[in-house]
Structure 1
Amino acid sequence: MNKGELVDKIAEGADITKASAGRSLDSLISAITSELADGGDVALVGFGTFKISARAARKGRNPQTGAEIQIAASNAPGFKAGKALKEACN
């Protein structure tokens, strides 16, 4: 399912226009992104939790030359599914 198909499903399920559903989805994505960028977590009960995890700096290798390179520390977004979502998938 892509974003357009998701907007269609939201519009149908909430009985709203596709334009409103698209704006709602964009707003949700923006709110989650903003909270994660500020270092917070977003917990949706029954669905799951979005959170940031820190990745330490490490050494790697350039696959073309084999030369050792330093990979900088970074933050990575993650998602942990909630119990209800796990049960729905099994």
Structure 2
Amino acid sequence: MIRSELLQALAKENSGLRADEIERVADVFFDEIAQRLADNGRVELRGFGAFSTRERDSRRGRNPRTGEAVDVPAKRVPYFKPGKEMRARLNTD
């Protein structure tokens, strides 16, 4: 699902809201998650999962085009851990 499909689904479920209101809700939701992660925090959505960040050490990489060795700096990357209910829904047999 892409953002526009999400907005359409929200509009369908919330006919009392205008399109710009739905878009604003989505913007605030995603901005808050991004800001919390940027502040090195954690976001937990019960039944869905948890977003956090992980540290990656600096390392020696390789430019795939030239084969030249390059230094890759240390960085933080986003991480998602699905919740118990999400895993159960995905693995129903």
Tell me the TM-score normalised to structure 2 length: 0.87
Q: Which runs of 5+ in 2 are unaligned?
A: none
Structure 2 equivalent of residue 78 of structure 1 = 79
Structure 1 equivalent of residue 59 of structure 2 = 58
Code of the aligned partner of 2:4: G
How high is the sequence identity, in percent, across the aligned residues? 36
- 8 Å contact kept, 1:36–1:77: yes
Q: Which runs of 5+ in 1 are unaligned?
A: none
Q: Partner of 2:41: helix, strand, or coil?
A: coil
Q: Partner of 1:65: helix, strand, or coil?
A: coil
- Measured after TM superposition, the shift of residue 70 of structure 1 is 0.9
Q: How many residue pairs were aligned?
A: 90
Structure 2 equivalent of residue 27 of structure 1 = 28
- Measured after TM superposition, the shift of residue 88 of structure 1 is 2.0
- 8 Å contact kept, 1:41–1:51: yes
